[in-house]
Structure 1
Amino acid sequence: MERQQVIRGVAARQGGVVTRQQALGAGFSRHEIDNLVAFGRWRRLSRAAYLIEPAATGGGQRLSRIRAAVLSLGPHAHAVLATAAELHGIGGFSRTGAIHVALPGRVARPARVKEPAVVLHQLEHAAEALTVIGGVPVTTAVRTVAELILRERRYPAVALLDSALNRGVISEDELLSLPALMRGRRGVVAARGYIAEANGLAQSPLETRTRLRCVDGGVRPDALQIEVRDSDGYLLGIGDLGWRAGRLIAEADGRTPHAAPDALFNDRRRQNRLTNAGWTILRFTWPDTLTPDYIPSVVRRALTTRALRRS
């Protein structure tokens, strides 16, 4: 009974996950551990880590798998790169399901990873570059962003910078500190350019991609999250991207936020108010951002049409 209490205490501190070594230390034999797994009492999550509490679902299950992968690789292991960004709640890049774990070079070399979903990196971080999220050791948000944008292409790099700023995961001061963290690293010149393009007003990766397409196409918006008010100061609506002189707004319509019936209803009423106030509304979706010329050409035509009407 005592060993059950011990192992449950360990699991409680680690989100229901324990390692094989911890179970052995609590008094379980290898045979007993294998039987607990075989009879479904414990669920194997990685090479030598088990979920001993009721199975989590959704995001909780994903966190349990990350925790198991990190714990199974010993006390020096910690989550990095895309997995660290996931734990910090940073968006903007595609998720593959892989779990990125770092170990110092002297430890990583003999480590064997049997789980195909675990990607091991020979990286070493000082204590001040690490934090803990959900019981998982992980690089700090600013360190995570610095290391990711060195590896990402421009669009996902700027999108993850926008996401980190918009969600308050990193501050403006931390954004400015990124070049120092990346100094001397491969890819730092391009990364400095990504930092210069970051804007925390962007509320989704789609907004970031739409903005970058406009910038690349020579029709840079002069406002993000632009507020439109009537003569009495009443707020008619807020547009994702705006061109004030042309009284033009571009909306980046993501699938999830705009799919619910209430969201569709509100979007239409807001668009009607803005249209009646003399604004032109364009709407773009993710597939529109995949063709470089499409969004800027539509914006340019709308601005040209507006200019001709005024002349």
Structure 2
Amino acid sequence: MDRAELLRSVTAVQDGLTTRAQALRAGFSRHDIDHLVAVGQWRPLARAVYLTDGRHGEPAARRCRIRAAVLSLGPEAHVVFGTAAELHGIAGLSCGDEVHVALPGRAAKLTRVSDPAIVLHQLEHAPSAVRPVNGIAATTPLWTVAEIILREQRYPAVAVLDSALNRGMLTAECLSMIRALIRGRRGAVAARGYLAEADGRAQSPLETRTRLRCVDGRVPPDVLQLEVRDGDGHLLGIGDLGWRGPRVLAEADGRNAHGTPAAAFADRRRQNRLVNAGWTVLRFTWADTLQPDYIPWTVRQALAMTRSR
């Protein structure tokens, strides 16, 4: 096997990336590496980490940049917090361009990071708390969520818990384990409250935020993902939040799920079926959740109107 084939066997499982050390072991010289970078065939993504098969001028994929950050910091490096949640597919946080990476004590103290997008944390994790996700070392879902809820405010923390439960990354039993993990740590008192509010029926952070606004406004829904059927048992629609007595539903309209013309037409048909069956249907967006009073006020008005009929 020549050096090019040997290196391809490495980059094939690393999103097209190679470290300088890996390239040297494959048979490339330092001069070869510097030349490939100089002519633009290889692109540096982190310290001594190169993208070998990216198109010139195109931004590297997010997972590729996360992997590059971990590779640049050595074998003990692993992603944590929002970056680990991102790899696991747990929603609720926005990391932007930042990549959160942890190293144990001495290694973290001796490491200097020049890339402002890489946020280095001095953290110790047992081997059982770390596992590969597509070949990138990350804290397990259990540890990831436990550490996030110690750091985040209530709305994003509950959204992360809801997402992890909804996607099967955590079970109800895991919540008890998290309580034990966070006991005595800074932020644990607030985090225990977030655990009590978690509900895996929420299918998006927007649904979580809408529910919490209702709870805070003292009009909590009595059910989530309410199935509404006609007299023959045919499904008319499913409401994200429901108040069964007054027959009020609330929908959380996220851009991904409701942003296409086909989705909009389907929403209208479903809403017509529900309204004809005697239900009031409210629709809320992310911007609505940024106003503390708007959602509960709107729900309260709808509840009052249905009760006065």
TM-score, scaled relative to structure 1: 0.95
Q: Which moves more between the two structures, 274-283 or 35-44?
A: 35-44
Distance 1:17 1:204, change over 3 A: same
Partners of 1:14 and 1:173 lie apart in 2 by 34
Q: Which residue of 2 aligns with 1:247?
A: 247
Deviation, structure 1 residue 292: 0.7
Q: Which moves more between the two structures, 6-15 or 133-142?
A: 6-15
Partners of 2:277 and 2:254 lie apart in 1 by 25
Deviation, structure 1 residue 27: 2.7
What is the letter of the counterpart of residue 306 of structure 2?
A: R
User: What do the CA deviations read for 1:95-142 (whole angstroms, capped 9, x no partner)?
Assistant: 321001100011011111111110000011111111101211111111
Partners of 2:229 and 2:57 lie apart in 1 by 44
Partners of 1:163 and 1:103 lie apart in 2 by 27
Name stretches of at least 5 consecutive residues in structure 1 with no aligned partner.
none
SS at structure 2 position matched to 1:8: helix
Residue 221 (structure 1) aligned with residue 221 (structure 2) = yes
* Contact 2:54 2:60 (8 Å CA) reproduced: no
Pairing 1:16-35 to 2, within 5 Å after superposition:
16-35=16-35
Q: Which moves more between the two structures, 7-16 or 300-309?
A: 7-16
What is the letter of the counterpart of residue 79 of structure 1?
A: V
User: What do the CA deviations read for 1:134-176 (whole angstroms, capped 9, x no partner)?
Assistant: 2111111111010111100000000011111111122222122
* Contact 1:55 1:61 (8 Å CA) reproduced: no
Q: Which residue of 1 aligns with 2:177?
A: 177
Distance 1:115 1:148, change over 3 A: same
Deviation, structure 1 residue 234: 1.0
User: What percent of counterpart residues are identical?
Assistant: 64
Partners of 2:154 and 2:62 lie apart in 1 by 28
User: What do the CA deviations read for 1:152-203 (whole angstroms, capped 9, x no partner)?
Assistant: 0000000011111111122222122111111221001100110110111111
What is the letter of the counterpart of residue 69 of structure 1?
A: A
Residue 37 (structure 1) aligned with residue 37 (structure 2) = yes
Distance 1:278 1:292, change over 3 A: same
Pairing 1:5-16 to 2, within 5 Å after superposition:
5-16=5-16
TM-score, scaled relative to structure 2: 0.96
Give the count of matched residue pairs. 309
Pairing 1:89-238 to 2, within 5 Å after superposition:
89-238=89-238
Partners of 2:203 and 2:122 lie apart in 1 by 34
Partners of 1:23 and 1:182 lie apart in 2 by 42
Deviation, structure 1 residue 231: 1.3
Partners of 1:285 and 1:273 lie apart in 2 by 21
Distance 1:44 1:177, change over 3 A: same
SS at structure 1 position matched to 2:192: helix
User: What do the CA deviations read for 1:271-300 (whole angstroms, capped 9, x no partner)?
Assistant: 111101110011111111111111111111
Distance 1:57 1:128, change over 3 A: farther
Name stretches of at least 5 consecutive residues in structure 2 with no aligned partner.
none
Partners of 1:40 and 1:110 lie apart in 2 by 31
Deviation, structure 1 residue 59: 10
Pairing 1:59-78 to 2, within 5 Å after superposition:
61-78=61-78
Q: Which residue of 2 aligns with 1:302?
A: 302
What do you get for the CA RMSD once the two structures are aligned? 1.7
Distance 1:56 1:162, change over 3 A: farther
